[in-house]
Amino acid sequence: MLSKKTAILIGLFIFLFYSNLSAAQDTITISRVSEDLPKVYAELKPFIDYLASQLKDMGIKQGKVLVARDNQELIKFVKQGKVDLVTETPFSSMLYCDKAGMKILLRRWKKGAPNYQGVIFTRKDSGINSLKDLKGKTIAFEDPGSTTGYFLPKAEILKKGIPIVELDNYREKPALGKVGYCFAKTEVNIGHWVHKGFVAAGVLNDLEYQNPKDVPLEFMSDFKIIYETEEVPRNLILVRQDLDPKMEAEIKKVLLNMNLSQEGRQVLQKMAETTKFDELPGGAEEAFKKIKELYEYIKKEN
C-alpha cells in the first residue's frame, strides 16, 4: 500500500502532467498591421494553414490570422502571447524587436525581390538637387508604417541635421528651414502630387518607381531622382521571443524548404507573390547594423 507522502507526490505528478498537456500550444498565429483586413486575410490564411499542416507532429492543429490596426496593437498582441509570427518590413520589424522582444527569423522575398530601397524624386524643373534643397518645401511620404516610403527617407533627412515636421495636408506650408511632410496613402497619389506640383518631392521604393502602374510612363520623363536610401531586406518573418525553441527551429525548417514543393510554391504565390524565405546574408545583426543606426534618429525625433 502506498504511503500518504508517495500518493501525494504521484497525484502532484499527474496534475502537472495533464496541466502541461492542456497548456500545450495547438494553434499557430500570424499577424500584420493593416487597414485592409480581407486582403491581408486572403494573403496570410493559406500560408498559416500550410505551416500548421507541417507542424502536426509538434501538436499544432490549426493556423490563425490576427490583423492589428496599428503597431501599438500588434505589440500588445505579442506581449499577450496571442501572436507567434509576424511578417513585416524592416523598420516595423525593428520596432517589434525593440518594444515586444521579437526575433528576426528569416528574410522574405516579396514579389520576387530580396531587397529594396527608397528613392526621393522631384520634377526636373523644380530646381531641387539635394535633400537640403527641400527646406521650406513639402515631401509626400506613403504611410506611417512604410520602411522605404517613410522611415528610411525621414531618418536620412534627420541624419543630415535637417529638421522635418509633419503637416496636416499638402496645402500647408512648413516653416523656413524645415522640411514639411504629409502622407499620400497610395503610390499612385505620390506620383500625381509631384507631377502636378502639389508637393516638391515624393518617395517610393525603387520597384514602385519603375512600375508604370504606380508612376505613369508619361510622368517619368518629367521626373528625376535626387536621393537613394540604403538598400534593405524587402520583408521579414519574426517570431515571439518566448516561442518554444523546438517549435521555432521546425518553423524555420519548413519555411526554408517551402519553395521546393509545388504546394509550397502555390501558397507562397498567394502571399503577395512571395518567392521564398532565406537567411539574411551575414546574419540578422550584420544586416540590421545600418538600419539600427537610422532607427535611433527616428526614436530621438519621436
- Which tens digit of pLDDT belongs to each residue from 222-239? 999 999 998 999 999 999
According to the model, what pLDDT value does residue 284 have? 82
Of 172, 117, 95, 91, nearest to 139 by C-alpha is 172
According to the model, what pLDDT value does residue 24 have? 65
According to the model, what pLDDT value does residue 280 have? 93
CATH for the stretch 4-113+233-284: 3.40.190.10
According to the model, what pLDDT value does residue 296 have? 83
Q: Do 265 and 259 contact (CB within 8 A), yes or no? A: yes
Q: What digits encode the pLDDT tens for the residues 134-191?
A: 999 999 999 888 999 999 999 999 999 999 999 999 999 999 999 999 999 999 999 9
Homologous superfamily, domain 118-229: Periplasmic binding protein-like II (3.40.190.10)
Higher pLDDT among residues 284 and 125, named by residue: 125
Q: What digits encode the pLDDT tens for the residues 32-57?
A: 999 899 999 999 999 999 999 999 99
Residue 268, judged by CB atoms within 10 A of its CB (0-12, 13-18, 19+), counts as: buried
According to the model, what pLDDT value does residue 297 have? 81
Q: Do domains 4-113+233-284 and 118-229 have the same CATH topology?
A: yes
Tell me the domain boundaries of the chain. 4-113+233-284, 118-229
